[in-house]
Structures are given as structure tokens and as C-alpha cells.
Amino acid sequence: MQLTQFTDIGLRVLMYLTQHQRESLVTIAELAEQFQLSHNHLIKVVNQLVKLNWVESTRGRNGGLRLGIPAHQLHLGRLIRALEGHTPLIECDKAACVLTGSCHLQRILAESLNQFYQYLDQYTLADIVRDPTQSILQQLHQQWATH
Amino acid sequence: MQLTQFTDIGLRVLMYLTQHQRESLVTIAELAEQFQLSHNHLIKVVNQLVKLNWVESTRGRNGGLRLGIPAHQLHLGRLIRALEGHTPLIECDKAACVLTGSCHLQRILAESLNQFYQYLDQYTLADIVRDPTQSILQQLHQQWATH
């Protein structure tokens, strides 16, 4: 059981954007180099984050990305649930299970997943970038901006 | 986020084996046909279930598989945790994250996963095969045994 690559990238992008500096926004090129990710993958994820209003995108010469909502208001359960979408933990139809519709596993798994997200909702994006992470992110961005 | 195919198959096998009848054990061939799964996939999973003592395998003409532990003693959290193994929900090294070792996400995800498994531990294998599942399983096995 693993989070999707989409969620993984989404979390990295959001974490990176927590070290916002007014005069130097973050670009897709910067994210691609820092996390060694392809532009294509990143653009799909960033578009989704913009659609959710979690990221603001500004066009133009000094344009770029920044958080659309303060990090301490982005609860991890809500965030990961939205990035993961509604795929169930087990797909009854995938291997055409003879028990589809009769077994009680799907419901119990869905309840357990709710517990998982509820626990995560105790924490926000701000919690996962506490130092030393925040300092490292600032250094990374400064190095990029001055190179 | 989805359970692995290995866990999915493991759960289906265990559910199927709950409708044990002393005179007619379940074979790999029967499981393969009922769930439309390949022998190879099934054998790997069944070997692991035997190693965990959750399934007993008997050789010989009337040989086959049956549960090694009563279904009401097999708690779902323990069961799914063992089948899933220790892969973390997010792999920091997979895309070589610059934040590896500094960020707090991995720990928080691990705690949340514990909550997920603890919730699942309220239920047992017996709970997910309550009727109508149990009756369907018995019918499936009888049809197979007499065809």
C-alpha cells in the first residue's frame, strides 16, 4: 500500500512552496530540478493544486507559484484525500471477484481509511515542514535563485 | 492508495477457506478458477499463508487447503499488515527527494497507518464472510466439488 506518485509529487510541491519569498516565486523549472521530476508530471499535479486553490500561479517575467492558503490551514487528511481521489483500497471488479456485492470487506476498509484520514487531519502542511525542513527549503530556494 | 495484489489475493483465499468442509478440501485449481487468477500468483500467496500458519496444506489424493486458525481469531489489521509487509506509504528514496531525513511526513504517515490497522483489528476474517457471503462461498464450493 503506497500513496500514488501524484500525491507524492503534490506533497513535495506544497512543502517546497511553504518557504515563500515575495520577490522570488518558485517556477516549474526549479521544482523539476530540485526534485528530479519531469515537467510533464509536475504540470499535471500543479494544475490540480491550482484548481483546488491551494496554489496560486502568476504569469509574467517574475511569475511563478506560491501557496494559495496558509500552510497551517492545509490539513493533511483533507489534502491527501483530495490528491488520492476516490479509488477504493481494493478493487473488486479488477480481477472479477465472485463475491462482489456480497462481502463486507470493502465497507470495513472504507471505514478504516476514514480513520487514517481523520488521524492525519490533526496535522497541517506547516507541521511537516518544521525545522530542519524549513531551513533546508529556504537554502535550496536561495541557491537556485542566485545560481 | 491501494492494497497490493498480493494482499488482495491473500484475502480472497482466506475468505474462500472459511467455508471448510472436512471431506472436501479446497485446491489451488479450484481457487484459480473461482477467482480467475493464475496458478503462479496463487501459489506464491498460499505459500506465504502457510508460512504464517494461517493456512494448512495437506498432500495426497484428497489433499488441499484449509484454515490453520479459526476465522474469528484472524484479526484484519494483523492480517493485512503481514500481507502488505513494511513498505512505507511514501518512498523518499524512490525519486531521490532532497528533503530525505529532514521532513516530518514519513513519521506522521506511519502513525496514521497504525491507526488504520488498529481500526481494522476490531474485525476478524469471520466478520467479512458473514451472510450472504458465507452462503455464496458454500454454494461455490459445492458446485465445484460436484461438477
Which residue range forms the structural domain that includes residue A122? 5-145
Euclidean distance between CA atoms B13 and B141, whole angstroms: 13
Give the pLDDT score at A96. 66
Residue pointed to by grid coordinates 479459526: B70
Task: Please give the pLDDT value at position A113.
Answer: 95
Identify the DSSP state of B56.
E
Residue B79, C-alpha cell as written in the block:
492480517
Q: What is the mean pLDDT of residues A120-131?
A: 94
ipTM of predicted assembly, 2 dp:
0.88
Q: Which of B97, B108, B129 sits opposite A120 (nearest CB)?
A: B108
Would the pLDDT of B97 be above 90? no
More confident residue, A130 or A23: A130
DSSP states along chain A: -B--HHHHHHHHHHHHHTS-BTTB-B-HHHHHHHHT--HHHHHHHHHHHHHTTSEEEE-STT-EEEESS-GGG-BHHHHHHHHHTT--SS-TTTTT-TTTTT-SHHHHHHHHHHHHHHHHTT-BHHHHTTTTHHHHHHHHHHHHHH-
Domains: count for chain B: 1
Contact A35 B97 (CB under 8 A): yes
Contact A129 B104 (CB under 8 A): yes
Please work out, in degrees rounded to the nearest 5, the angle formed at the alpha carbon of residue A82 by the alpha carbons of A76 and A86.
125
Full-model pTM: 0.88
Q: What is the CATH number of the domain that holds A57?
A: 1.10.10.10
User: What are the φ/ψ torsions at residue A67 (nearest 5 degrees)?
Assistant: -65, 140
Q: Which of B31, B38, B112, B138 to mutate to test the interface with A (most CBs of A within 10 A)?
A: B112
